[in-house]
Structure 1
Amino acid sequence: MEFVLHMIEGIFFIPFLIWIIYFLVFSIGYRMPRNQEFKQASTQHRFLVIFPAYKEDAVIVESIRSFLKQDYPHHLYKIVVVADNMQEDTNEALRTWGATVVIPTYKNRSKAAALNLAITSTQGQEFDAVVILDADNLVFPDFLDQFNRVFSSGCKAIQAHRIAKNENTDTAYLDGISEEINNSIFRKGHANLGLPAALTGSGMLFEMNWFKRIMPKISSMGEDKELEYHLLLDGIFTWYLEDVYVLDEKVQNRRDLSNQRKRWIAAQIDTFLLTFGELNTIFRTRNWSMLDKLVQWSIPPRIILLGIIPIWVFILYILAPILMYKWLVLYLLFLIALCLAVPNRFYNKRTLISFLKLPFIFIAIMRSFMGIKSGRSTFVHTPHGEKKEDYSN
């Protein structure tokens, strides 16, 4: 029995060690100073800006009005809103503000389907790049000008810095911190160490010809991860612009958080399996960026690691105390990595108080695992624009 326990513990320890060392390395990378400058562009490119919107009447008009404040020639960008299940007065307001409104008729709803429809609706029109934003996103007036500067330097894929638009509930506040940890580890930390940044679903730019070629191949609920997969296959480096901000509304209660994570986890598992099937090719072609992504997509949600390791340590304390010490060291390294990845502005009293809600978040994320199957094929809408109260369970 003791031999079996030691074997299980040893097998269990290996992936956790890889995951936590991974976090630690890129958290340190995030703290490394690195200057990234792009020359002023000599050419102004033409952009297609897509806003997929499903029942987003509460936020979409504000987002379009905000975007139209760009310090960039209006004739050089076109806004397309894919208006799925939205009210006609909202659609009319969008048209009044100059957006092209495309109303879908597809049955299999997904963000990928909306993006493909937007591309189809603009056939025959010339664009150099496509910009993808969510219906609740707000940007600053220099957004397109900054994208144009980087795109003009030869970058074919760009990810902006998405930050929280709202902090009105503890769940939204913690979701904002989680997003920033992702930015630190998977975007800036990677960029500082010479690896491509991860996509985050909005605030993204892609070279148009590449996007038109790849997008019809994508139909899953995790379009951003599939796009990453194809970028890596084609050897395209994704640049991260830390100083170009996209304000994104965070989920405001644990039920919506669970639903959102259900979709994300399902997409991550599917993309991991797809990439794992290319393992031989990865090593043969020495595609280390793809190998890095394979490790990243194997990692469970951080909140799961935060909750599971203490439970496992307690089990070891009961059954085999000698085995628990290395887990305690590993957990300490994990906490150090997270502390390094949290931006300095979050070191305050509210963060400390909000952390008391983490056990409830842990339960909500655990629940999301029960709906992974539906998350693969069912469109899950995250409500925006309304204040939601936190649930106690």
Structure 2
Amino acid sequence: MIKVVYYILWTLALVHALYFFLTAFFAFKREKRLKSGDGKTKFGIILPARNEEKVIGELVESLRKQRYSKDLYDILVFVNNCTDSTREVAKKAGAKVIEVTRKVSTKGEVLMFALEKLKDTDYQAYIVFDADNVVDPDFLNVMDDAYSNGFKAAQGQRETKNVNDGWISTCYSLFYYIQNLFFNRARTRMNASCSINGTGFMIDKEFAEQHFKPKTLTEDIELSIFCNLEGVKIFYAEDAITYDEQPTRFNVSWKQRTRWSVGIIQCVRAYSGKLLKNAFKDNNFSCFDKLLFIITPFLQILSFVLGIFAVIVGCFGISVGILSHVPFWMFILYTIICYVISMIFYALVLLYHKKSIAKNFMGILLFNFFIFTWVFINIYSIPKKTLEWKPIVHEKSMKKLK
């Protein structure tokens, strides 16, 4: 009986991993270029900000330098719980500053307030950025192309301001590069829906007002789910680039990733049933795809437990089918080979994004460790119903990094 359960669990874990491995190859499929937009989409750019005086000015300046008609977009900074000069810096840089006049504790709640505040405006779509971002000058043009081609939602490419700041920031960069290439790009090229991942995304105004009702710590994943459930395809706008500041300290990374894990587990509890129902009822591939995505924390834990069990079997020679015939040294050799191959892969990903291998070698070396720590974050997060949102200090300027 133990053998049967063991094989079933291993099969589940392997099928889940194999699914994402195989779909990743669609990233290499030839791209179908969008027709150029008419340059007439009116955007409301929403920037939630809490004590962001060191970075908000640079974001606003980058948005004012967009190669897009200045009459067709407004820069709207929604300040909340500020005890510094974020308001003054944003206003001086050229943004419209709007005070969040009710108690908010998450980014999703700020966005809900913004949607209500802007309900009577004539914007066609909203674009959301985090306050620490810097935006490529052609960002709005690319999003106009997407909107003009009928896409009600689009995710831009997430780049890193401070990739060379240490192994933690390199690991974050690798995480987003891999997600950009082998998840978001792959899904757009297989004519499916990619995923919104926090910042640098566009959403249709009417759709957002009707369907965006977040109740978890990961409002970006929820918005992706709302799109999937309503049959709205999210386009990966690869040329719409946002530069984002990443943590450089492990304790800060742990807190941030814990919030993400708690949020995605909240999404499993709230939406897995609806996603499964829609996947089969409406033959909705994106719902099926998103369901497999949000259950990843549980599959990570399962794979870890099964791996530990395999090591115990190897060490003590316990008879569990084929494992009892595999010498322990083969497990060690297999692990070393996989580690080396993965490092080569990470190096190639960095080279593709024109980043230095030498400057980021520690991140390449420790990326597997970075991902491995997520197992313990997920274990810690499962019993949590919610988590206090603790803001992350942002202070990296692109000007200073150059």
* TM-score bin (small chain): 0.7 to 0.9
Match of 2:57 in 1: 61
Distance across 1 between alignment mates of 2:176 and 2:385: 21
Match of 1:121 in 2: 117
Residues 57-66 or 306-315, more deviating: 306-315
**Closer, same or farther in 2 for the Cα pair 1:129/1:95, shift >3 Å?**
same
Distance across 2 between alignment mates of 1:46 and 1:78: 9
SS in 1 for 2:146: helix
- The answer as to 2:390 corresponding to 1:380 is yes
Distance across 2 between alignment mates of 1:130 and 1:150: 13
Question: How far 1:135 sits from its partner (Å)?
Answer: 0.6
Which of these residues, 175, 185, 188, is aligned with residue 188 of structure 1?
185
- The answer as to 2:298 corresponding to 1:317 is no
Unaligned runs of 5+ in 2: 398-402
Distance across 2 between alignment mates of 1:79 and 1:173: 30
Which of these residues, 75, 89, 94, is aligned with residue 93 of structure 1?
89
SS in 2 for 1:107: coil
Tell me which of the two structures has the higher relative contact order, counting C-alpha pairs closer than 8 angstroms and 6 or more residues apart: 1
After superposition, the C-alpha distances for 1:339-378 in whole angstroms (9 at most, x for unaligned) are: 6686251683455433443576357534533255557242
Match of 2:400 in 1: none
After superposition, the C-alpha distances for 1:69-100 in whole angstroms (9 at most, x for unaligned) are: 11112121111111123345331221123212
Distance across 1 between alignment mates of 2:359 and 2:313: 34
Distance across 2 between alignment mates of 1:260 and 1:171: 12
Contact 2:217 2:263 in 1 (8 A): yes
Contact 2:44 2:126 in 1 (8 A): yes
Q: Give the partner amino acid of 1:49.
A: I
**Closer, same or farther in 2 for the Cα pair 1:129/1:351, shift >3 Å?**
same
SS in 2 for 1:300: helix
Distance across 2 between alignment mates of 1:68 and 1:306: 47
Distance across 1 between alignment mates of 2:103 and 2:339: 43
**Closer, same or farther in 2 for the Cα pair 1:334/1:287, shift >3 Å?**
farther
Q: Give the partner amino acid of 2:156.
A: A
Which of these residues, 173, 184, 201, is aligned with residue 176 of structure 1?
173
Contact 1:102 1:121 in 2 (8 A): no
Q: Give the partner amino acid of 1:348.
A: I
Distance across 1 between alignment mates of 2:340 and 2:184: 19
Residues 76-85 or 298-307, more deviating: 298-307
Distance across 1 between alignment mates of 2:251 and 2:84: 29
Q: Percent identity?
A: 24
Which of these residues, 145, 149, 169, is aligned with residue 141 of structure 2?
145
- The answer as to 2:389 corresponding to 1:368 is no
Contact 1:220 1:377 in 2 (8 A): no
Question: How far 1:189 sits from its partner (Å)?
Answer: 1.5
Contact 2:50 2:86 in 1 (8 A): no
**Closer, same or farther in 2 for the Cα pair 1:45/1:281, shift >3 Å?**
closer
Contact 2:67 2:141 in 1 (8 A): yes
Distance across 2 between alignment mates of 1:77 and 1:289: 31
Match of 2:366 in 1: 357
Distance across 2 between alignment mates of 1:202 and 1:378: 20
Which of these residues, 44, 54, 68, is aligned with residue 48 of structure 1?
44
Question: How far 1:338 sits from its partner (Å)?
Answer: 8.9
Q: Give the partner amino acid of 1:42.
A: D
Question: How far 1:105 sits from its partner (Å)?
Answer: 3.8
Which of these residues, 149, 153, 159, is aligned with residue 157 of structure 1?
153
Unaligned runs of 5+ in 1: 388-393
Question: How far 1:185 sits from its partner (Å)?
Answer: 2.4
After superposition, the C-alpha distances for 1:8-60 in whole angstroms (9 at most, x for unaligned) are: 42132022112210221122222x23223122223411100001112222211
Residues 356-365 or 293-302, more deviating: 356-365
Distance across 2 between alignment mates of 1:102 and 1:235: 33
Question: How far 1:65 sits from its partner (Å)?
Answer: 1.2
After superposition, the C-alpha distances for 1:188-224 in whole angstroms (9 at most, x for unaligned) are: 1112222111111111101111111122x22321111
Question: How far 1:268 sits from its partner (Å)?
Answer: 1.4
SS in 1 for 2:389: coil
Question: How far 1:108 sits from its partner (Å)?
Answer: 3.9
Contact 2:161 2:246 in 1 (8 A): yes
Aligned length: 382
Q: Give the partner amino acid of 1:180.
A: Y
- The answer as to 2:126 corresponding to 1:130 is yes
Distance across 1 between alignment mates of 2:382 and 2:261: 7
**Closer, same or farther in 2 for the Cα pair 1:194/1:310, shift >3 Å?**
same
- The answer as to 2:302 corresponding to 1:292 is no
SS in 2 for 1:384: coil
Match of 1:197 in 2: 194
